[in-house]
Amino acid sequence: MITAISAIIVFLLLILVHEFGHFLSAKAADIKVLEFAIGMGPTIFKKQRGETVYSIRALPIGGFCKMEGEDEDSQDERAFGNKGIWQRFFVLVAGAFMNILTGFIIFVVLMNTQQQVYVPIVNTVIEGSPAEQAGLMPGDKITSINGTIIHIQNDFAFEMSRYTGGEIAVGYIRGGTKGIASLTPMKGEDGRFLIGITNSVKDLFFTSRITNSYYMTLFTSKVVIISLGDLITGRYSFKEMSGPVGIVQHIGEAAKTGILDLLSLTALITINLGVFNLLPVPALDGGRLLFLLVEAVRRKKLPPEKEGLVHFVGFALLILLMILATTNDIGKIFGG
């Protein structure tokens, strides 16, 4: 029961946050909003306020913001399709922005439950390790690995987790002077690759909590994009991908562990939702943004029926992807 309730709350909250972003930006751009709904399916309650119908629907699986002229031609000057490119861009981006902003706020809350955090600053160097041989010293602040900027400990750990062999270039700052240490990581007893250092612990203050939350948001967004690229290039199998069933299972496990774990997972999911929605894929907001870019280059709108057909095909492909992911989830649950 706790799994179902927590999953419904998380999904409903995150989709509503997304749609509320569209709603607020549409109002700001003077676009006519026909309906703002909580839930999907049959209407169980609705109230008209001004030109907008506010409704609650039977299925607690999200919501929507219906705008005039969003998917069809309209002669109303306040219709979505009749607004300028930048106004429509603003409205389309707002949903994903709200999801990512929600993730940042959750990270701020989580950071305020901690007094200290690990940072990518060398605390000790293990004798005989690659780090010692390369000349790294206690107090060195690691700033990059193979050119990838390191802001927080998660960045460092993630880059090391992707190591597949060969020499790496570790950028660092020592006493205000930049340097680069070339070394080859060694394999630890647990199978992970290590460079042979321990990281420092730093006290958290108000500004550092905000800064760390910001970099955690960037890190999570980066991981979503890189992970998607890994699936496409074959670094990871599609069998490792989780769908709705797997996410619900993870939410339930996090809810049983405690509110902090549930919040951490919610931050991951909402940022994932925001970043994924901005991908240039038909049926997603990113796909609509791509059509806006084409319109800006052509200086002419594409026929709505053609754009609608492309989004329909994209939606069908997303449904197939969801079915594949759900099949993976069921296979994992039953050990198949």
Active site residues: 19
Check: CB of residue 131 under 8 Å from CB of residue 199: no
Check: CB of residue 80 under 8 Å from CB of residue 26: yes
Check: CB of residue 113 under 8 Å from CB of residue 33: no
In 3D space, the residue among 305, 288, 244, 222 whose CA is nearest the CA of residue 22 turns out to be 288
Burial class, 26, CB count within 10 angstroms (exposed 0-12 / middle 13-18 / buried 19+): buried
In DSSP terms, which residues pair with 144 in a beta bridge? Answer: 149, 171
Q: Determine the Cα–Cα distance for residues 254 and 266; give it in Å rounded to an integer.
A: 9
- Name the one residue in this structure whose structure tokens are 């993976």: 328
How many other β-carbons are positioned within 10 Å of the β-carbon of residue 28? 12
Q: Determine the Cα–Cα distance for residues 227 and 275; give it in Å rounded to an integer.
A: 12
Q: 3-class DSSP state for residue 96?
A: helix
The DSSP result for 206-227, as a single string, is HHHHHHHHHHHHHHHHHHHHHH
Check: CB of residue 183 under 8 Å from CB of residue 177: no
Pair type for strands 33-49 and 148-149: unpaired
Check: CB of residue 278 under 8 Å from CB of residue 286: yes
Cα 85 to the chain's mean position, in Å? 25
Largest CA distance in the chain: 75
